[in-house]
Amino acid sequence: MSPIRAGTALPTSPPDSGDFEKTVRDWREFDRKTEATEYQGVAIYRNEFWTSKQRAGHPLHEISYRACFKPQLPGFFIDRLTQEGEAVFDPFMGRGTTVLEARLKGRRAMGSDINPLSRILLNPRLTPPSIDAIGARIKAIDFSAPTQTPDELLVFYHPDTLRQICALREYLLGKTSAGTLDNVDEWIRMVAVNRLSGHSSGFFSVYSLPPNQAVSLKAQARINTRRKQTPPSRNVPTLILKKSRSLLRHPPPPEMATSPLLFNAPSHNIPEIENASVSLVVTSPPFLDVVDYQGDNWLRGWFCGIDMAAIPVANHRSIDDWTDFTRQTFQELARITRPGGHVAFEVGEVRGGKVALEETVLKAVQGLAFRPVLVLINDQKFTKTANCWGVANNSKGTNTNRIVLLQKT
């Protein structure tokens, strides 16, 4: 199925019972293979709307985080619903895909997340330093003499590698405490955070799970036993420089008069953002209790000096609780989104596909200053990297992007 081409206008109002068929015809003229249905008068379109290829976006996106979507998803809506210089916001920015893509496209980039790790992952990539500056800083850091090395981490690392990691950690935490951490240090920290554990020689660790989560110490010990492996020696500064060159192989984001705005705040309360100042929100909230963001990021939290257990990341087992959480978020989005602006709210299948969260979103916004435009279901043959765990694509987990598009009235 061929993707909808850039520049295609999205419908700006929901179909009523009298013109649903016309809306379907208008949408299908861009791609005749698009399937169209409706839910309570809201058009639902299913197709492969953007590429399923991995690493098809700007290389600055190539860092890992649990449950992140491809940059083509926010790019699809940014291209169609905003102009250069307009504000694009994500209240659950995670690794920062929406914010970075907005910045790359010349929009005013804004994002927030309750997890402070999110800003650590994103901020350096919005205004990256030069590779020469990174190389010079790495040479200036003493990787040989940490004051302590936690022996329990030897299930992940060779002793020499662990010493280098701990020396870098102490350097970065010291600079943070002294208030002297600059953009080069932030970049090195960001890259190191993304090299802590993974399943190839480009990571600091022995073979582990994919790099968007860290297994427990006991689980890593079991992996080592099963694979009959011991952690090999990895050179931390060499790997940081290698990954930096890869991330910086394309031109950086364009310079703009306004700097990106990043906040560490809950999605329902971001007072720093002015009323009616945002043209487009593209975001994806936690899907109930599907992902353990605290547990998956424990190793990253240790390296950055963050107590992950103290961060109140949303984790709802009840649909009613998740609906209340979503409504509170939309109440804040109604305040900051300009009239005529849009919210693209991405959700996925949960409970084995038995729960349609897109329908729950439509219920959650009833009575608020939004009108539903459509539901877009991006359905791809190759959807994710879960096959690293032996999970086939289009089987378990989230296999489609399901985006509820709403317009501020």
Mind listing the pLDDT tens digit of every residue in the chain (409 residues)?
344 444 455 555 544 444 555 554 554 544 556 677 788 888 888 888 776 666 678 999 999 887 688 999 999 899 989 999 999 999 999 999 999 999 999 999 999 999 999 999 999 999 999 999 999 999 999 999 899 999 999 999 999 999 999 999 999 999 999 999 999 999 999 999 999 999 999 999 999 987 777 899 999 999 999 999 999 999 999 999 999 999 999 999 999 988 999 999 999 999 999 999 999 999 999 877 667 777 889 999 999 999 988 998 877 778 899 999 999 999 999 999 999 999 999 997 766 667 788 999 999 999 999 999 999 888 876 544 444 434 344 444 456 889 999 999 9
In a domain, 11, yes or no: no
In a domain, 301, yes or no: no
Question: Cβ neighbours of residue 400 under 8 Å, at least 6 residues apart?
Answer: 348, 349, 377, 378, 379, 380, 383
Asked if residue 166 and residue 99 are part of one domain, the reply reads no
Burial 358-380 (b: 16+ CB within 10 A, else e): bbbbbebbeeebbebbbbbbbbb
Longest dimension (CA), the chain: 73
Percentages helix, strand, coil for the chain, rounded to the nearest 5? 40, 15, 45
Asked if residue 330 and residue 270 are part of one domain, the reply reads yes
Asked if residue 359 and residue 270 are part of one domain, the reply reads yes
Contact call for residues 389 and 58 (beta carbons, < 8 A): no
Asked if residue 272 and residue 240 are part of one domain, the reply reads no
In a domain, 75, yes or no: yes
Beta-strand ranges (E) seen in 40-138 are 42-47, 87-90, 108-112
Asked if residue 139 and residue 109 are part of one domain, the reply reads no
In a domain, 310, yes or no: no
Asked if residue 275 and residue 143 are part of one domain, the reply reads no
Residue 5, SS3?
Answer: coil
Asked if residue 153 and residue 83 are part of one domain, the reply reads no
Find tokens 């951490």 and name the residue: 181
Radius of gyration of the chain (CA): 22
In a domain, 252, yes or no: no
Overall number of domains in the chain: 2
Contact call for residues 14 and 374 (beta carbons, < 8 A): yes
Per the structure, the complete domain to which residue 176 belongs is given by 131-247
What was the pLDDT predicted at 44?
Answer: 87
User: Nearest Cα to 164, choosing from 260, 236, 218?
Assistant: 236
Asked if residue 143 and residue 98 are part of one domain, the reply reads no
Contact call for residues 294 and 306 (beta carbons, < 8 A): no
Asked if residue 233 and residue 162 are part of one domain, the reply reads yes
Asked if residue 242 and residue 275 are part of one domain, the reply reads no
Q: What is the CATH number of the domain that holds 55?
A: 3.40.50.150
In a domain, 65, yes or no: yes
Asked if residue 135 and residue 107 are part of one domain, the reply reads no
Question: Cβ neighbours of residue 37 under 8 Å, at least 6 residues apart?
Answer: 43, 44, 46
Angle at which helix 116-126 crosses helix 183-193, to 10 degrees, equals 120
Asked if residue 345 and residue 225 are part of one domain, the reply reads no
In a domain, 135, yes or no: yes
Q: Which two tokens stand for residue 407?
A: 């317009």
In a domain, 88, yes or no: yes
What was the pLDDT predicted at 392?
Answer: 45
Asked which of 226, 247, 268 is the last residue of a domain, the reply is: 247
Burial 157-193 (b: 16+ CB within 10 A, else e): bbebbbbbbbbbbebbeeeeeeeebeebbbbbbbbbb
Q: Which two tokens stand for residue 343?
A: 């919210």
